Structure 1
């Protein structure tokens, strides 16, 4: 069966991909063990699964939780299928489930909030989102899915006292304030928290996501450098962790309404 796969994010812990299956054969695929832990969100089509001998239907209102080692077969009654795939490492699954990578049995159904978060993730993945933002968004979607199976375990890492939460936020802001580009995973490791819980606590305490706060800092640094007369936009983009000069230019224009050259003129000393 021809499979087209577009990978948006690949780290040691997370893979995010758009998968399109065409020319599906009739009947069931041969049985095979699952080699990864995956979350499959069908966007178009229907898939029948036979998991450990038990049949289940996968459609756009459900999520297939692929458990490592389980024997699975699939049939494609409608022909071509399109789905989003999230693959998580065992440590990442453990981080999301309170330290235990064992995933409870059960079906997951797509809520309106989950459906919207899923689609926004894809939209951002297809535009200018960087790995930091995609990691935060992908982790949040995975947490929403797993919280249907084990809500208490997904919530278990949340710091309980207001003082602890504030300290975590301050430590995170201090790490981001160094101006050194960091991945979400390395940032979480630096402040002693899992990426999921760091993202959740930071958003709750500040009212904004880590990605947006990081972008505000990068914007402030960019404006300062431009005010000082910085002309090497490729260097500026690299120093601030943008993917390239065009990403920096797009971000500045979107945030301020002006391209970098005009901002340099506006912010520079009077001629």
Structure 2
């Protein structure tokens, strides 16, 4: 078995797990140390959790919980999985204010499976904020299917409360354009899932899209003021690198920062 860490912060970790085992008996008991949501991308296997057996394949996710003990038996052909590990704090914010996960595997909707696969492509092409947004969305989609009442708990109940939450998140974004949805939710005292939903309802845009739009406006101001180093500008505004800045600016305005610098210099 080979594990590759794709992304890791204090709130979550994403690992790719490749197993090329042939058919065999049950593995030795293996205790889990973290809360994890495991997506099977390819292959299948039997899993024994605390003595209870289940079969998992790419149509389901299964879960790891601290102190659970699992064994695996492969029918052959190997498998590929994505492990999404959540901190207790983040998980509690998505799971009714207490950390926990289901015991049995849960079927995934096609959109949720695609969401998880798109998350893997985001890791190489965007910043920490975009990855965190996608992690929260994927985890919330799985958990909403498993226990919708738990995930819905704590949603701001009134229009005034929802506007307040969004205003507080926007205020922090102006102060710190690189703030992730997890940090924004903590600042506004709601779950990241609820913030994502009410933010789009109030602004018409996702947190990621709004963050990028705001960062482009801030970048334009810096460029107009004479900022000469695009790499420094990208770092200051929380972009992954200069290429990421150029890509986002190009998507937003239809021209690269270098062209904008020339136009703004003549203004």
Whether these two folds match at TM > 0.5 is: yes
Deviation at 1:108, TM superposition (A): 0.6
Aligned pairs for 1:6-21 within 5 A: 7-21=5-19
Distance across 1 between alignment mates of 2:145 and 2:158:
25
Q: Would you say 1:67 and 2:68 are equivalent positions? A: no
Deviation at 1:217, TM superposition (A): 0.4
Distance across 2 between alignment mates of 1:91 and 1:266:
47
1:103 alignment partner, SS class: coil
Change (3 A) 1:117 1:180: closer
Q: Indicate which of 36, 41, 44 corresponds to 2:42.
A: 44
Q: Would you say 1:222 and 2:219 are equivalent positions? A: yes
Q: Indicate which of 107, 110, 117 corresponds to 1:112.
A: 110
Report the equivalent of 1:267.
Answer: 264
CA-to-partner distance for each residue in 1:55-113, whole Å, 9 max, x for gaps?
11110000011222122100121332111110112222211111122334433101122
8 Å contact kept, 2:37–2:63: yes
Q: Would you say 1:183 and 2:180 are equivalent positions? A: yes
Q: 4+ residue runs of structure 1 moved beyond 6 angstroms? A: none
Report the equivalent of 1:32.
Answer: 30
TM-score between the two structures when normalised by the length of structure 1: 0.91
Deviation at 1:24, TM superposition (A): 4.6
Report the equivalent of 2:52.
Answer: 54
RMSD over aligned CA atoms reads 1.8
Change (3 A) 1:180 1:143: closer
Structure 2 unaligned residues grouped into runs of 5+: none
Structure 1 unaligned residues grouped into runs of 5+: none
Aligned residue pairs, count? 267
CA-to-partner distance for each residue in 1:197-222, whole Å, 9 max, x for gaps?
22222123222211110100001111
45-54 or 260-269, which moves further after superposition? Answer: 260-269
Distance across 1 between alignment mates of 2:242 and 2:3:
30
Report the equivalent of 1:22.
Answer: 20
TM-score between the two structures when normalised by the length of structure 2: 0.93
